[in-house]
Chains A and B, each alone.
Chain A
Amino acid sequence: MVTVSEIQTEAQFEEVAPKKPWSQVALELCRKQPLGVFGLAIVFVMIIAAILAELVSPNDPLQEHFDAMLAAPSAEYLLGTDEFGRDILTRLIYGSRTALLVGFVCAIVGATGGLVLGVASAYFGGLFDLILQRILDVFMAFPLIILALAVVATLGPGIENVMIAIILPFVPQCARVVRSNALAIREIPYVDAARALGFSDARIILRHMVPNVMAPYLIMLTTFLGQAILLEASLSFLGLGVQDPTPAWGLMLSNASEFFEGAPWVAVYPGVAISLSVFGFNLFGDSVRDVLDPKMRSR
């Protein structure tokens, strides 16, 4: 009779492995992954700004100041004003809410959807795997922005539809990466052992396979964060995303196109915000990959 469970083995292992203090881990991380920490700092500032927008913003993002239309940066308006006299700094701060909302929702839903499909496809194999992979091939045949544009053109503009448009291409990307990892895990003896013990498919997938594909999942998730922000900004720039007067970086950039020759600040700062946030998420994502990927970790 088999009585040893993997859980006991893992618990014993955790007892043996010495735990480092949190501060030491943080310091080591800073030393080993300085760019990743820098990226994380950008992301952290963005999140704090989004959460505390009401407290840190100097103005109301929707308040028009017609006596200060297209005003240059000054002590009163640090980053200047737009064509309606609205404070650009304030709108950037509030715009981070839109960016983060779209970024996190799309990345989490897209990556998780891909995780479920990827693991299920690898585990069940056979005809299910074949059909699912061909369907995913169809989606992956289209460039990301083209597919997103097609979805928004079909469903119509608006933030909900933009999120659907971004999630849809993310799912097959993540599913494909996760599947390739899950295929290898499926052949490892402990999966066979679990199957021999009579565990259900759901238990095997959730307890034995999913934890082992978390590394590629997290890497994809962090990569998607930056991509989603960029895609949302692109769709809003094209007039298909968030609509005025809601503050959103892509929309600000789009509105600026008429006025940037005489008032470059209306285009420069939203552009910087988009670039910086995508840069931050990408640096952070790269570091996550380095930390989680054993091959990269050994270098």
Chain B
Amino acid sequence: MSKYARFALALAVGTGLAMGATGPAKAETPKKGGTLSYIVAAEAPSYDLHKESTFAAVHPIRPFYSLLIRVNPENPQSPTDFQCDICVGEVPKPTDGGKTYTFKIKKGVKFHDGQVMTAHDVVATYNKIAFPPEGVASVRKAFFKMLDSVTAPDDETVVFKLKFATGSFLPVLANPMSPIYSAKDLKEHGYDWHEKNVNGTGAFKFKEAVAGSHVDGVKFEDFHMQGKPYLDGFRALISRKMAIRVQAIRGDRAAIEFRGFPPKQRDDLVKALGKDITVQESDWNCVLLYTPNHGRPIMQDPRVRQALTLAVDRWGGSQHLSRIAIVKTVGGIGFPGHPLSATKAELVPLKGYGTDLKAARAEAKKLLAEAGKSDLKFELMNRGTDQPYKIVGTWLIGQWRQIGLEVTQRVEPTKTFYNELRNTKNFDVSLDFNCQSVVNPLVDTSKFVGSAGNNYANFKGQDQQLEEIYEQMLQAPEEAKQRELMRVMEKRALSDQAHMGVTLWWYKINPHRSYVKGWKIAPSHYLNQSLDQVWLDK
């Protein structure tokens, strides 16, 4: 059994254990009809999933689109179990020594406006994501470093040519943030059109969106999977406050929240609803980071950044914060528990991961003094979402206070937060996150490289060594070599240069109404959100 298979098994067993008394799932015949109401904790900054990296966009928008391939909805815990979405049959095996993937596309797949989808739409989509024209944002461009070209020899065939063979390519294709757009839409309306418009081939058609309230979808009768979707429609209700979201499920105004609740809210719901609530739990491929803006003079000295990480008590934080927030696991740059990721013994020597907190904080004070920044004051920009941003942000400020830093917090609504983080760079240090979908550390860790589209620490071109380590790791053929290089990269990114700080990895808890069937928890809140397989047992 390979390490990956063991890892998948461990995830599955863990999830099963966490689900406790629910027992093995019985095969049930799906019932048709009904509208699924679910809660989303923030409003989508835009509808363009190629551009976005937040659940606030995925949860209401993903059901409108299809992917080339997707994670098997019946087995979403697996990092290697994929199925065709708009391709035909099984996911193809690579040829040409692992460097060519050829996909046959389903015939007669329709966009919601009636256009017929062809291989050219797939090509246009992946060209936009992997090779965006100058000025077009693509946060996942770095994921496609292995991709050389994507072409359509005819209307039903798509060929991906890679620069080098890598097992990380299929997980990248299954990323739910890569929905297929119409080539005609892109050509006629431009690359920004999808920010405010929806035209996909997904199971549901866009009906309406009311700012601050909800997004509605209705069943797409021409959906390309026969007999699906089971639901007549869905309503994604937007509510920022955790208490309101919990009460919505308690009062049956909503059936589920796909992101996750803290343990306390899970316990309250179970206590109140008993058998009417089902709980699914999983480790989460999502980590909360803090990102020092290297463009600000106060954050340019590595000693200052090292002091920031040294002040943070991650082991204690894991113990305490897991009681009140959706964070739990201490980890490095890769998903904890994955064969490529660091063990505790490997983490402890890194700055900020030691078990002697007193010594670490003394070292932090010394480094600040050496850098002449003992009385450093700065502002932490945060996102206006309670879980886990505001809780972890407040905790971080308390941690930094222990080494004499005076930090204030500025909380911005999601849209403003992203704009400041991505465009205006108007922050000293910001809360940041690396939430990925299919567990794929080779690609997921690209976030820590300065040139990555989703790296907001503002040090592009300033750490060539880190870029080279990442490139070597990505192209390393052997798992052992990949693992070794990931440790080198981790040390440089988190400890030696302390470009960014990892706080804690998230832990996913989804209590939902027991009548919601067909949805299985994945190690990511981005995965398994097409909703075509979900039905209501009412």
Contact = CB atoms under 8 A, between A and B. Distances in A.
Q: Are A and B a genuine interacting pair, yes or no?
A: yes
Interface of A: 62, 64, 66, 69-70, 83-84, 156-158, 239, 243-246, 257-262
Contacts of B395: 64, 84
Contacts of A69: 320, 323-324
B243 A258 contact: yes
Contacts of B240: 239
Contacts of A246: 408
Interface stretch (B217-225, B409-417, B451-459, B511-519): B409-417
A84 B394 contact: yes
Interface residues of B, number: 30
Given A157-B412, A258-B262, A245 B394 contact: yes
B410 A158 contact: yes
B320 A245 contact: no
Given A69-B324, A83-B324, A158-B410, A261 B398 contact: no
A156 B242 contact: no
Contacts of A70: 324
A62 B397 CA distance: 10
Contacts of A261: 268
Contact of B416 (A62, A156, A257): A156
B260 to A, nearest CB: 14
Given A244-B393, A258-B264, A239 B384 contact: yes
B525 to A, nearest CB: 19
Contact of A239 (B316, B408, B411, B416): B411
Nearest to B398: A64
Contacts of B264: 258-259, 262
B386 interface: yes
- What are the 5 tightest A-B residue pairs by CB atom distance, in nearest-first order? A257-B243, A66-B320, A244-B394, A243-B409, A258-B242
B268 A243 contact: no
A259 B324 contact: yes
B207 interface: no
B152 interface: no
Given A244-B393, A244-B394, A259-B324, A157 B243 contact: no
A245 B268 contact: no
Interface of B: 240-243, 262, 264-265, 268, 316, 319-320, 323-324, 382, 384, 386, 390-391, 393-395, 397-398, 401, 408-412, 416
Contacts of B408: 243, 246
B316 A245 contact: no
27 contacts: A62-B401, A69-B320, A69-B324, A70-B324, A83-B324, A83-B391, A84-B394, A84-B395, A156-B412, A156-B416, A157-B410, A158-B410, A239-B384, A239-B411, A243-B382, A243-B408, A243-B409, A244-B394, A257-B242, A258-B243, A258-B262, A258-B264, A258-B324, A258-B386, A259-B264, A261-B268, A262-B264
B397 A245 contact: yes
A56 B165 CA distance: 68
Contacts of A64: 395, 398
B359 to A, nearest CB: 19
A259 B320 CA distance: 15
Given A66-B320, A84-B394, A257-B242, A245 B409 contact: yes
Which among B240, B265, B398, B409 has the greatest number of chain A C-beta atoms within 10 A?
Answer: B398
Contacts of B262: 258
B322 to A, nearest CB: 11
Nearest to A260: B243
B386 A245 contact: no
B238 to A, nearest CB: 14
Interface class of chain A by DSSP:
loop
Contacts of A258: 242-243, 262, 264-265, 324, 386
A243 B243 contact: no
Contacts of B398: 62, 64, 84, 245
A62 B408 CA distance: 12
B242 A66 contact: no
Which among A69, A156, A261 has the greatest number of chain B C-beta atoms within 10 A?
Answer: A261
Which among A62, A66, A262 has the greatest number of chain B C-beta atoms within 10 A?
Answer: A66
B122 to A, nearest CB: 41
B5 to A, nearest CB: 39
Contacts of A62: 398, 401
Contacts of A157: 410-412
Nearest to B245: A258
Contacts of B382: 243
Nearest to A263: B264
Given A84-B394, A156-B416, A258-B262, 12 more contacts: A64-B395, A66-B319, A66-B320, A84-B395, A84-B398, A157-B412, A243-B382, A243-B411, A245-B394, A245-B398, A257-B242, A260-B243
B523 to A, nearest CB: 24
Given A66-B316, A84-B395, A157-B411, A257 B241 contact: yes
B113 to A, nearest CB: 34
A199 to B, nearest CB: 50
B241 A244 contact: no
Contacts of B416: 156
Contacts of B401: 62
Nearest to A244: B394
A114 B241 CA distance: 36
Contacts of B323: 69
Contacts of A156: 412, 416
Contacts of A83: 324, 391
Nearest to A153: B413
B303 to A, nearest CB: 25
A37 B401 CA distance: 42
Which among A70, A243, A259, A262 has the greatest number of chain B C-beta atoms within 10 A?
Answer: A243
B107 to A, nearest CB: 49
Given A257-B241, A258-B264, A259-B324, A244 B390 contact: yes
Contacts of B320: 66, 69
A67 to B, nearest CB: 9
Nearest to A262: B264
Contact of A243 (B324, B386, B410): B410
B199 to A, nearest CB: 31
Contacts of B384: 239
Contacts of A260: 243
B403 to A, nearest CB: 14
Contacts of B393: 244
A244 B409 CA distance: 7
Contacts of A239: 240, 384, 411
B45 to A, nearest CB: 16
A140 to B, nearest CB: 25
A245 B320 CA distance: 17
B485 to A, nearest CB: 36
Which among A62, A64, A244 has the greatest number of chain B C-beta atoms within 10 A?
Answer: A244
B269 to A, nearest CB: 10
A257 B245 CA distance: 11
Contacts of A257: 241-243
A195 to B, nearest CB: 52
Given A243-B409, A245-B398, A257-B243, A262 B316 contact: no
Contacts of A84: 394-395, 398
A69 B393 CA distance: 17
Contacts of B268: 261-262
A70 B394 CA distance: 16
A262 B395 CA distance: 21
Nearest to B382: A243
A50 B138 CA distance: 51
